[in-house]
Amino acid sequence: MARYVYPAVFSPEKGGGYSVFFKDIEGCYACGDSLEDAIFMAEDALGLMLWHLEEEGKEIPSPSKAESIKLKKVEFVNFIKADTIEYAKKVSNRAVKKTLSIPEWLNIKAEAAGVNFSQVLQDALKEKLELV
């Protein structure tokens, strides 16, 4: 999982709002009633698509250079960021039960100290995986 930045093509719509597509990410589209809304929706769409590609073990395409994208007269390019770690935290935050073993003496000491085993394990995993 990583952080990404991709160029997005914004097309103004006749009734207002914008349609957005990513040349490099097949099937990645968004739209919004305003520019701000379209940017927000584009960030969400890009995060979802890249997270899905990572989860499936598929190759993440390289982003195009903005100047290489052919635009229609009213279109423009804006860069959109995606952090798939943050996206995964939002959409895949269901608790998963894990069974583990520790020495009895350590369990006695930890329980006496009021240690939250789940929190300690989460903190240790984040540190080990350099996610903090």
User: In this structure, what CATH number is given to the domain that contains residue 61?
Assistant: 3.30.160.250
Cβ(18)–Cβ(12) below 8 Å:
yes
Contacting residues for 40 by C-beta, under 8 A, at least 6 apart = 32
* Domain co-membership, 76 together with 104: no
Q: Are residues 26 and 76 in the same domain?
A: yes
Tens digit of each residue's pLDDT, the chain (132 residues)? 689 999 999 999 998 999 999 999 999 999 999 999 999 999 999 999 999 999 999 999 999 999 999 999 999 999 999 999 888 888 887 888 889 999 999 999 999 999 999 999 999 998 998 887
Determine the pLDDT at residue 1.
Answer: 60
Whether residues 70 and 130 fall in one domain: no
- Predicted local distance difference test score (pLDDT) of residue 89: 85
Q: Are 27 and 69 contained in the same domain?
A: yes
Rounded-to-integer distance, Cα 116 and Cα 109, Å = 12
Domain that holds residue 99: 95-132
56 shares its domain with 77: yes
Q: Examine the domain organization and report whether 52 and 29 are in the same domain.
A: yes
Placement of tokens 């990404």 in the chain: 4
Do 53 and 106 lie in one domain? The reply is no
Rounded to two decimals, the pTM is 0.76
Number of domains making up the chain: 2
